[in-house]
Structure 1
Amino acid sequence: MQSVKTGDIVVSDFDLYEHYSVVSDEISTDGKPFLISATKRNETVKEEPWDIATQGKYTYISDKKSNLSRTDILNNARSQIGKWHYSVRSSNCEHFSNWCLGLKVSSTQVVGASAGAVGGALLVKCCVDDPKLLDYIFAGTAGFLLGLFCSKAKLKLS
């Protein structure tokens, strides 16, 4: 945590998914920076103490690059406090951090999970004689989880 800088994107590992936050220039009484992020918990963007945003999970600095200055990244993040409408599919924490960086608003986690779910369902269609609804549900769920896992693995390997 000592090497984080204002405007950095940090990623907290919540086992099943990754949570993205923008490092603030505000410092709490414990010496840790505040983080700005979009969460389902808040339904919008909030600036919160490090420990609340990360919930004690392993957190590291993302290697995403931006052509914007750290000040612009922080200003972008703060401009959405209380305004960003959270949606896991289209405006989650990863979408938000990419938007703050001036990057394409996308989420590798959503893409990976969606592709996995569709792939699992297609596999059932191609490989199972007389598939039942439960076959599609099981394969879609397994594919969803595999796709989400692969999107996390890709993030750590790249």
Structure 2
Amino acid sequence: MKNLRHNASARRQRGSYAVEFSIVFIFSFTMLYALICYGIMFALRFGLQNAAEDGARAALRYQTSWADRKSTAEAVARAQLPDLTLPVTPDVSAQRCQVLPGGANNCTTPTCGTSWDYRCQVVVTVTATGIRTALPPLPLFAVPDTLVGQASMMLDGKSP
């Protein structure tokens, strides 16, 4: 009698390990996929930020004109990008912005000078669009397609 009960109980439990394994596997795989995706995203974002910072520092070197500063900043930022091995080519831009009272910026028509009210800064922006192509081809929920690295440095009032 005891043996019959044990066999009936075993038959009812058949397949329960497979169901438990599938639930745990789906959860574990989702967590692993999220870690890999966001790890890649953070590494790419860190590389873009470093390129923008190097470009902004390069703009502080003495140049004879703003056009020379801008081209130097963009060239240095672009030179840092091949280390990232990105599947897309990021856009690099450098602009001169006047810092207005209250923290706002005037980047369209900056008036730079030596007084505090006419201080300017260089803003280097590195934008990578199409980042999802760098990630594994699975459902990409909550993953941005554009990453931006931006850095700014205050310019000397006497510099061009």
Whichever structure has more helix as a proportion of its residues is: 2
Higher relative contact order (CA 8 A, sep 6+): 2
What is the TM-score of this pair, normalised by structure 2? 0.27
